[in-house]
Amino acid sequence: MFRSIRWRVAVSYIILILLAMAGLVIYLSDLIRDTHLANLEAKLAAEAWLIEDALASSSAWDEPGGDLDPVARHYADLLDARVTLIGTDGTVVGESHEDRTQMDNHLYRPEVQQALAQGQGSGIRYSRTVGYEMMYVAVPVTLEGRVRGVARVALPLREIEANVARLRWAVVSAALLTALGAALLAVLIAERTARPVRRLTEVVRRMAEGDLSARLLLTTRDEVGTLTRAFDQMADRLRETITTLAEERSRLTAVLDNMADGVLITDGGGRVRLINPAAARLLGTDEEAALGRSFAQVARDYRIIDLWQRCCERNKEQSEPVEIGRRGPFLQVIVTPLRDADPRACLVILQDLTRVRRLETVRRDFISNISHELRTPLASLKALVDTLRDGALKDPPAAHHFLERMETEVDALTQMVQELLELSRIESGEVPLRLKPTPVADIVLPPVERLQAQAERTGLSIAVDLPPGLPLLLADGERVQQVVTNLVHNAIKFTPAGGQVTLSAEPAGNKVIISVRDTGVGIPADDLPRIFERFYKADRARSSGGTGLGLAIAKHIVQAHGGRIWAESVEGRGSTFYVALPALAPR
């Protein structure tokens, strides 16, 4: 409860009011009692002086064993009070209420001593004679300047105390009602004071939860109103700042998420504070798992870690190419110190150069392969020309043979140039496809019929397995026949005598997969990913003839149809080539 400012203010006011009311009650109670006692004392004094005036000339004071009891009782009845008449020696000579013979000597009673010494005495004390507290007022009885005795009037204080108690209760009741009203007023004032603070707290909580539109309504022109205006102005500026930062962060996040390069930021403790999807992919990790971990745990490559450590130690940018694993990726790692953010914080950039390196490798292989493919027929042509120049022209049969050889080499060069031009046109999209519904049999059977004789000459058998009910293909029949012809021709060329080449087809979802399986020598696993590159030949020792462009052309024809071509092979046990082409939905 006391954590609330409302109750702290209200309780403070209530305690103050209660203390004030308690002090006021005590003061008023004492004042009323003292006033009643003073009035009572004055009344008793007047009555005592009345008795003194009446008894001053009485001869009973001088008589030994004088009896003034009737006089005391007479005045007691008139005054409705207790009257006691005391001689100068302290002997009680008259008593209105008790047996004076049983009473003690009263000479040394305080009021008697005070009356004899000062002319009037009073006191409040417990009376052992009657057994309760009483007020006594005594005056000396004198005649011609001689003190003849003391007249004392007394009244019990029970009535006074009862009257004072009733008045005290009335005062206490009034004080309680006043305190209750004041407490309610204090609670209302505290509530009115605390309400703007609660509203401010609620608005601050909403803003902390992300509701930056929350505002306070200006309801007063006092200090709270000034605080409300200042808070609203601060909230407006904060919203603008956060909106600007959020927009900048969104742009930065979009840039980082769509960057091809990997980006990491490490703090002074070497822990990853930022990593984009590209970096997570290149390092084979997860973004959430990488955040907060050490850079060494995320990078997991000693060369990258060493480069990062050198940058931290030298406070200078470090750069180095790194190939992760045998098959890549090939990365250019750049580590830059972030001096402004943290003395040991670093920015790590991972540039994926795998494709660039692969293209460079393909370019080198292409130049090497085409140089090799051109050198052989050109060298042969030069040798034939030299032979003819050296005298073979004079021998008609030999000259004719050499010219036929030259024509063969020229045809090989022409075929190579034509295939290169065709591959270039297919890659650039300059060769339009005449797509139409085509049965699978019209694509598979014609190449088999053309190559059947070649297979029989090499001692091979060709089998075709086309199940009925295959869907039609949406394809350019001639181009796809070219693909099948190339695959069957390669199967025949690399399968020893006695082997078999099998062509089959099967539906697979919205495609039809045509497969060409042989029982030949197979393809090494290291060569398998590159067999569809230009001029790439898996085994030059067994690659007799051919330009090395057939599979590259087949790949581009299939991709132009929206299909896919791939191969599976076990070295020494044969290969299987698959062509997946889009099929028409059955009507």
**Residue found under tokens 């049965």:** 439
Does some domain include residue 193?
Answer: no
Distance CA 574, CA 27 (A): 119
Q: Do residue 534 and residue 492 come from a single domain?
A: yes
Last-in-domain residue among 428, 453, 476: 428
Does some domain include residue 244?
Answer: no
Distance CA 380, CA 369 (A): 17
Does some domain include residue 177?
Answer: no
Does some domain include residue 168?
Answer: no
Last-in-domain residue among 352, 377, 408: 352
Q: Do residue 305 and residue 378 come from a single domain?
A: no
Six-digit token string for 415? 């075929």
The residue segments making up the domain with residue 77 are: 6-163
Q: Do residue 62 and residue 80 come from a single domain?
A: yes
Select from 19, 25, 26, 76 the least CA-distant residue to 51.
76
Q: How many contiguous H segments (helices) and E segments (strands) does the chain have?
A: 14, 17
CATH for 552? 3.30.565.10
Say whether 519 sits in a helix, a strand or coil.
Answer: coil
Q: Do residue 106 and residue 127 come from a single domain?
A: yes
Distance CA 26, CA 23 (A): 5
Q: Do residue 479 and residue 561 come from a single domain?
A: yes
Does some domain include residue 243?
Answer: no
Q: Do residue 311 and residue 424 come from a single domain?
A: no
Q: Is the pTM of this model over 0.85?
A: no
Does some domain include residue 384?
Answer: yes
Last-in-domain residue among 321, 352, 383: 352
Does some domain include residue 521?
Answer: yes
CATH for 380? 1.10.287.130
Q: Do residue 73 and residue 140 come from a single domain?
A: yes
Q: Do residue 543 and residue 477 come from a single domain?
A: yes
CATH for 92? 3.30.450.20
Distance CA 153, CA 176 (A): 39
Six-digit token string for 79? 């005054």
Q: Do residue 391 and residue 442 come from a single domain?
A: no
- Tally of domains within the chain: 4
Q: Do residue 109 and residue 14 come from a single domain?
A: yes
Q: How far is CA 134 from the centre of its chain?
A: 82
Distance CA 72, CA 93 (A): 9
pLDDT by 10s per residue, the chain, length 587: 556 666 666 677 778 877 887 888 788 878 877 887 888 888 888 888 888 887 766 665 656 556 788 888 888 888 888 888 888 888 888 888 888 778 888 888 888 888 888 888 888 887 776 677 888 899 998 877 788 888 999 888 777 777 777 877 887 888 788 878 877 887 777 777 777 777 777 777 877 777 777 776 666 677 777 877 887 888 888 888 888 888 888 888 888 888 889 999 999 888 999 999 999 988 888 888 889 899 999 988 889 999 999 998 888 899 999 888 776 688 999 999 987 767 778 999 999 888 887 777 777 767 776 776 677 778 778 887 888 777 777 777 877 887 888 887 787 777 677 767 766 766 666 667 788 999 999 999 999 998 898 899 889 999 999 999 899 999 988 889 989 998 999 899 889 999 999 999 999 989 999 999 999 988 888 888 888 877 666 654 344 555 677 888 889 889 888 999 999 998 888 999 999 999 987 65
Q: Do residue 508 and residue 459 come from a single domain?
A: yes
Q: Do residue 100 and residue 78 come from a single domain?
A: yes
Does some domain include residue 44?
Answer: yes
- 565-570: long-range contacts (C-beta < 8 A, 24 or more apart)? 565/483, 565/532, 567/523, 567/528, 567/531, 569/522, 569/523, 569/525, 569/528, 570/522
